[in-house]
Every structure is written in C-alpha cells, then in structure tokens.
Amino acid sequence: MNPPTDSKQREYSRAEVAKHDSVKSLWVIRGNQVFDLTTFHTDHPGGSDVLLQFAGQDITEVMRDSTIHKHAIQAYRVLKDFYIGEITAEERQDHSTSELGKDEMDCIEEEKFLDIHRPLVKQMWNSQFTNEFYLREVHKARHLPQPAVFFENKFLEMFTRTPWWVIPMYWVPILVTLLVLGSEYEPANVMLVGFVFGLISWTLMEYSIHRFIFHYDENLPEGTLAQGIHFLLHGVHHFLPMDPMRLVMPPALSTFLGLIILGILCCIFTPGMIHAVAAGLTTGYMLYDECHYWLHHGTSANKHLSQLKTYHLRHHYKDYKAGFGITSDFWDNVFGTKFATPE
C-alpha cells in the first residue's frame, strides 16, 4: 500500500498512539498508518461516541466489520486527509486484503472532480462535466475541518455562510409580525386552526422541495449552467455534508422563496387566515432548518432522534435517491421513497 505523500511523515509506536484516546486528541491506526481524527470525530456520520470507542486503537478490521458498519471506499478517501504518519517498522502488522483484492487505500481514485481546497464556484463555472460524471461525483461526500470557500472575494463569500442561529434571529420577528397582523382580522381560535394547518402543510412542502427541486437529478439538463445551479442549491450539501455554514438556507434565498409562497397563499385564503397559515409554514421551516443542522452535528441519547439522524445520514452516505424526509419519514412511507433495505 502506498502511503499518502506527506513531507512531515513520522513514525509512531502503538503505545504512543494509544495515549491519544480522548476528544482532545483522538488518533487511530489503520493499515499501519496513523490518522489524527481530533477535528473529525464530531462530524463522523455514525456519531462521535462510535469513534471514541476505538480511540487510540487499530481500526483496520473494524472498518471492514459489517456487524458494526462496513465502510465504503469513500470513507477511506475522507480518512486519507487525516494521515499523520506510520507505525514503527518493528510494530507493523500484516493485514488481509479487502474483498476487492487489495487494500482499500489503494482503491481510492485520483480526484477528478472539484478541489475542495480551492474556491468552488469558479471551478464549477469553468467545468465541463457530463451530467453522469457530475451527479456521480457530487453525491460522494467529502470532508473539510473548516467551511469550504465558495468565492475568492470575501464580500461575496460572506453571503454564502449561514450559522444556525441566524435562522431564528431572522424569522422569529417575521413570525410574530404575521401573528399580530393576523389577529386584527381573525379571532384566536381561527388563527390557531390556520397556524396548525400551515405547520402540518410544511411537512409535505419540506418533502416535496427536497425530492422534486433539490434532487432534480435525473432530469437535469446537460451543461455547466444547470449543474452550477444544482450545485449551489443542494449539490454542495451532498458534496460537503458536514460543512456547518451550508446546512441552513441563507435568508436572502429563503425570503425569495417565502415571498413566492406568500403570493400563492394570497390567491387562496382571506386576510387573517393568510397570516396564520404563513406563520405555521414559517414555524415549520424554522424547526426544519434547526433539526437539519442538528441531524448533521448533534448527538442525543433519545432513541427516536438517533434513528432520525441515522435515517438522514443514510440519505447522504448510502442512497441519495431515497429518504427525502428530514424531520420525519412519514411522506417517504406515503410515496414509497423509503430505503429499499433496512439499515
């Protein structure tokens, strides 16, 4: 197996690696190579606790163990970025080859898509990918320990990053305004009905937007422009699913979509009910965004929340053509888009 090129390559004893067994310093051994996962463990799709069980240990066979979780080649691509050195010659061990007939690290193909270390938008604009290649590569998760860069221009870059706390800070005042204005037209009981209707309606809207707009994959027109729009709208989230600054929609875009939805509501409902339904939809949207952020970066001992996290991350790391529900799998059950086999 050829180790990653690294001018700072060092050798470590197994005892030395074993000392790095905490969240403050988490190292592992894989195939006689040493990897520092300190900045990655919180982003691990299976949760931080899983990695901590094997901190400081040799995980070569663990990563192949299907009873725990058999890792795809893409996981080895991510792991490769955290390489820091080799196990000392006298402590090296022989490991069996994988089912592919060679070591998994040797199965990693040279990156021919986007360089995650350079501004992404310019690369997409100058690309000439076929749709088949683009859709295959954009749905292979990569990882960076820090937010990716979209634009070289820092002013433009600022508008591409949205921390989770921006959502309630921006939308709660709008929500309150909708409820206050609506109460001038309808009594509280009518407003409550409209609000609940809007909240429930959001769950179907969430599913529909994710499935039919964000994943307008198979029908995507050929060409850089269509791919660029797809990439900015949702593709980058599959390309870099753990980027903390791209997990919620920027207010400028969500406001634009919100105004379109408000225009539709104005054609259906009367004043008061318009405000109530819009408030319910707004609340649903905020809960969805915050839930989505948590599904990628949160942990919980609650069984239901853990299952929901596993369900969503399976959409990212296993099968992007199923599992479109974020806050619930209800509509996946209704429309038959649950995963084909149980996890």
pLDDT for 14 equals 94
Residues of each annotated binding site: 44, 71, 210, 215, 234, 237-238, 292, 296, 312, 315-316
Distance CA 230, CA 224 (A): 10
pLDDT band of residue 342 (cuts 50, 70, 90) is low
Q: What is the pLDDT of residues 47-70, one digit of tens each?
A: 778 888 999 999 988 888 877 677
Helix (H) / strand (E) containing 5: none
pLDDT band of residue 9 (cuts 50, 70, 90) is low
pLDDT for 8 equals 52
Task: Specify the amino acid at residue 316.
Answer: H
Q: What is the pLDDT of residues 125-154, one digit of tens each?
A: 999 999 999 999 999 988 888 899 999 999
**What is the model's pTM?**
0.84
pLDDT band of residue 98 (cuts 50, 70, 90) is low
Angle between helices 273-297 and 188-208 (to 10 degrees): 50
What token pair was written down for 263? 């225009």
Q: Say which CATH architecture domain 10-107 belongs to.
A: Roll (3.10)
> Where in the chain do CATH 3.10.120.10 domains reside?
10-107
pLDDT for 95 equals 79
Residue 336 clears pLDDT 90, i.e. is over it: yes
Residues of each annotated binding site for heme: 44, 71
Residues of each annotated binding site for Zn(2+): 210, 215, 234, 237-238, 292, 296, 312, 315-316
Distance CA 30, CA 57 (A): 9
